[in-house]
């Protein structure tokens, strides 16, 4: 996802050095395969509205990505809602992701984020997932909440981007353990919504499905512009209801 345009310096740093510059604790590397899984939230004053170069958490901001998956036309709409939720003592903002395939609703998730004032990192506090099945049933695989079942907040997008940085986005053992590695910086990316410069590329994996990986691209001042086969078709602030 999301915002604030700035040119980011090229830094080829990994491991404890990168974590130190990000303001994260190097002991978090222990037992996590080199991915940071502890982000010192106790040192933050959290805000439920804000942004960093690649993430906008401001009410009404919307991204639409479209593409073909499994021979179907997929549309992913991401909207920052005018709703907050208290999670593990932190006021978070709700970001809705709504996905359709050939016009049929596939998934709706309500993701919970807050911005750390010290680092501008976008902390990820959980999500409520509704999976819609062709037979009419709804399931909730992937739902988690920080402070419950051993889950703690991860970081969806750091406030400062370092090439090679590796971090957990979700820390819900056995449920949601997505993690990201920054694998590219300074990229030029073409999408139906336009051509973007100074983009970053991340590779997402999870220890829950070791053979799966996914690449995403983010543009400064915009947020996510490529999600696997989906590409950005529109972005900006929209009315939240009736549009």
Q: Which two tokens stand for residue 138?
A: 């709804």
The pTM of the full predicted model, rounded to 2 decimals, is 0.86
Helix or strand (DSSP H, E) at 194: strand 194-205
The pLDDT assigned to 219 comes to 98
Number of domain units in the chain: 1
Looking at the DSSP assignment, which residues form a beta bridge with residue 21?
none
Domain presence at residue 242? no
The pLDDT assigned to 8 comes to 29
DSSP string, 211-223: T-EEEEEEETTBE
Domain presence at residue 176? yes
19-77, pLDDT tens digit by residue?
Answer: 333 444 333 333 467 899 989 999 999 999 999 999 999 999 999 999 999 999 999 99
Domain presence at residue 243? no
The domain containing residue 228 runs over which residues? 15-237
The pLDDT assigned to 38 comes to 87
Q: What are the 10-residue block averages of pLDDT along the chain, 243 residues in total?
A: 27 33 38 81 96 97 97 98 97 98 97 97 98 92 96 97 96 96 98 98 95 96 97 90 52
The pLDDT assigned to 136 comes to 85
Domain presence at residue 4? no
The pLDDT assigned to 11 comes to 30
- Domain containing 207 — which CATH number? 2.40.360
Measured distance CA(53)–CA(154) in Å, rounded: 18
Domain presence at residue 53? yes
The pLDDT assigned to 21 comes to 35
Nearest alpha carbon to residue 98 among 133, 63, 125, 69: 63
């Amino acid at each position: 996802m999301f915002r604030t345009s700035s040119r980011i310096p090229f830094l080829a740093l990994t491991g404890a050095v990168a974590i130190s510059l990000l303001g994260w604790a190097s002991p978090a590397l222990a037992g996590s395969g080199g991915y940071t899984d502890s982000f010192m939230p106790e040192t933050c004053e959290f805000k439920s509205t804000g942004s960093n170069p690649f993430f906008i958490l401001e009410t009404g901001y919307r991204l639409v990505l479209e593409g073909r998956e499994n021979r179907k036309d997929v549309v992913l709409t991401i909207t920052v809602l005018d709703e907050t939720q208290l999670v593990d003592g932190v006021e978070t903002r709700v970001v809705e992701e709504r996905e359709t395939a050939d016009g049929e609703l596939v998934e709706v998730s309500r993701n919970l984020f807050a911005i750390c004032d010290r680092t501008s990192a976008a902390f990820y506090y959980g999500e409520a997932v509704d999976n819609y099945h062709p037979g009419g049933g709804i399931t909730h695989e992937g739902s988690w909440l920080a402070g419950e079942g051993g889950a703690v907040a991860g970081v969806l997008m750091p406030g400062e981007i370092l090439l090679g940085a590796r971090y957990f986005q979700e820390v819900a053992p056995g449920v949601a353990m997505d993690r990201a590695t920054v694998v590219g910086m300074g990229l030029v990316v073409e999408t139906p919504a336009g051509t973007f410069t100074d983009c970053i590329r991340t590779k997402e994996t999870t220890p829950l499905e070791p053979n799966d990986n996914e690449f995403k691209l983010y543009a400064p001042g915009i947020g996510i512009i490529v999600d696997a086969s989906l590409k950005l078709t529109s972005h900006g602030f929209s009315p939240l209801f009736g549009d």
